[in-house]
Amino acid sequence: MRRLIALGAAILAVPLLFVVVLDRPKTDTGSELILDHLGYRWNMPAWMAPPPVPDDNPMSVAKVDLGRHLFYDARLSADQTVSCASCHEQELAFTDGRVLSRGVLNTPARKNAPSIANAGYNPALTWANPHTGTLEFQALFPLFGTEPVEMGMSGREQELFARLASDPYYTDAFKAAFPEREGQIDLFSITRALGAFQRSIISANSPYDQFKYGGDPDALSEAAKRGEQLFFDHRFECYHCYMGVMFNDNMQTARSPFAETAYHNTGLYNIGGTGAYPPHQGGLVEFTGRREDIGKLRTPSLRNMALTAPYMHDGSIGTLREVIEHYAAGGRTIIDGPYAGVGAAHPNKSGLLIRFEATDREIDDLIAFLESLTDESLLTNPDYADPWPNGHSATVNRVMPSDTKGLIQ
């Protein structure tokens, strides 16, 4: 009790200087425009706090617009076929629909692409790397990483800067976004523009939001309402890891006194009963080297998950029903093949992952609830859409998920 009282006092003591609501005009998505302390208007409902913003990268309209152009520009990759959007497509809630993402020269990634909607709220930005705490730092990994290669620009930084400088749009845009740097095109400005754009992508207009926060009792179907009751029931224990407004346990807002981070082993593998995971899929252990971290991965948000199949960090589960069945079994059993083993018996498996029984109707209701977390306005919001005209050199060779759907696995 003392700890709870102390925590409550600490929260109340945090100065709320981050957001000042001056007016709340409605947008065509039903959101409201919230003015922050530096004058940037967040397109989001008033009940939701904005994400935290780094001191060295304040938000601005010019910076977000520059970041949007960079996000969709395939000239950021070695062969000019891959942009950030190639793994994060708006119509798929900023995922790519593939088991594993693909980089330049069709190089396979090692992980399933997570959604970047609401990424600004994540203090841990990848499946397992605990060091990627900001969007600005994380942008360096796809651009210059070599294990695996994604955009393939390692050692080609000057070539990247020259490509961007040759486009008249960027000459003006970098000056508008970074007047204090006189429009210099470098890693500092590129990563901060990308970070600002991603931080602007807010998804909080699902039917569940309209029901829970908007006061619309008809926004949810009866099945989804039953599914909500099951989701927060002790029989299933879903809410312990998928909590709060983002339905995960990795969260920080502009008003948070501290960041919440968590990694869990969900019994996905237990190769040969040894506790092993497939190569490059071991999770947190790959960074800590500690055996007790095998299989531990960041909890993703459930928002928009009906659009983000396949599931799990390796894309190894195809449907929402199969995901629920995996948790109902307390872990996955693989009968044969190189990964055979009983995941439910993994020594690192989270104690929150318990077996449960569910009828077909209850599973249908849980799925209806999860589908109610889909924000359709996110998929068509022009603020997040591709800004480049058809035939522009930024996109003429770009490969998008929708171009290869059903072909790339």
Percent of the chain with pLDDT over 70: 89
From 363, 350, 369, 298, select the one nearest 324 (Cα to Cα). Answer: 363
pTM for this model (two decimals): 0.90
Q: Is 298 helix (H, G, I), strand (E, B) or coil?
A: strand
pLDDT at 39: 74
DSSP states of 48-91? SPPPP--TTS---HHHHHHHHHHHT-GGGSTTS---GGGTSBGG
CA–CA dist 311, 317 (Å, integer): 5
pLDDT band of 6, cuts 50, 70, 90: very low
Q: Half-sphere exposure of residue 10, counting CA atoms within 13 Å on the CB side?
A: 9
pLDDT at 173: 98
Percent of the chain with pLDDT over 90: 85
pLDDT at 35: 65
pLDDT band of 43, cuts 50, 70, 90: confident
Look at the domain 237-357 and name its fold.
Cytochrome Bc1 Complex; Chain D, domain 2 (1.10.760)
CA–CA dist 76, 78 (Å, integer): 7
C-alpha distances out from residue 357 to 267, 342, 362, Å: 17, 18, 10
pLDDT at 31 over 60: no
User: Can you say whether the dihedral through the CA atoms of 202, 206, 210, 212 is positive or negative?
Assistant: negative
CATH topology of 61-202+393-404 equal to that of 237-357? yes
Higher-pLDDT residue of 15 and 285 is 285
pLDDT at 369 over 70: yes
pLDDT at 405 over 70: no
CA–CA dist 377, 304 (Å, integer): 11
pLDDT at 108 over 60: yes
pLDDT at 9: 36
- Residue range 314-330: average pLDDT? 97
pLDDT at 32: 62
- Residue found by looking up tokens 């930024």 in the block: 394
pLDDT band of 13, cuts 50, 70, 90: very low
Q: Is 44 helix (H, G, I), strand (E, B) or coil?
A: strand
pLDDT at 14 over 70: no
pLDDT at 57 over 80: yes
Q: What is the pLDDT of residues 58-103, one digit of tens each?
A: 999 999 999 999 999 999 999 999 999 999 999 999 999 999 999 9
Indicate the burial class of 152 (C-beta count within 10 angstroms; 0-12, 13-18, 19 or more).
Answer: buried
Look at the domain 61-202+393-404 and name its fold.
Cytochrome Bc1 Complex; Chain D, domain 2 (1.10.760)
Domain boundaries, the chain: 61-202+393-404, 237-357
CA–CA dist 218, 209 (Å, integer): 12
pLDDT at 154 over 50: yes
Phi/psi of residue 188, nearest 5 degrees: -60, -50
C-alpha distances out from residue 384 to 79, 115, 184, 304, 309, Å: 24, 13, 24, 16, 21
Q: DSSP character for 300?
A: P
Q: What is the pLDDT of residues 266-295, one digit of tens each?
A: 999 999 999 999 999 999 999 999 999 999
Q: Is 102 helix (H, G, I), strand (E, B) or coil?
A: strand
pLDDT at 8 over 50: no
C-alpha distances out from residue 156 to 68, 145, 153, Å: 22, 12, 5
Q: Is 318 helix (H, G, I), strand (E, B) or coil?
A: coil
What tokens appear for 213 in the block? 């926060």
Average pLDDT, the chain: 90
CB distance 329 to 322 below 8 Å = no
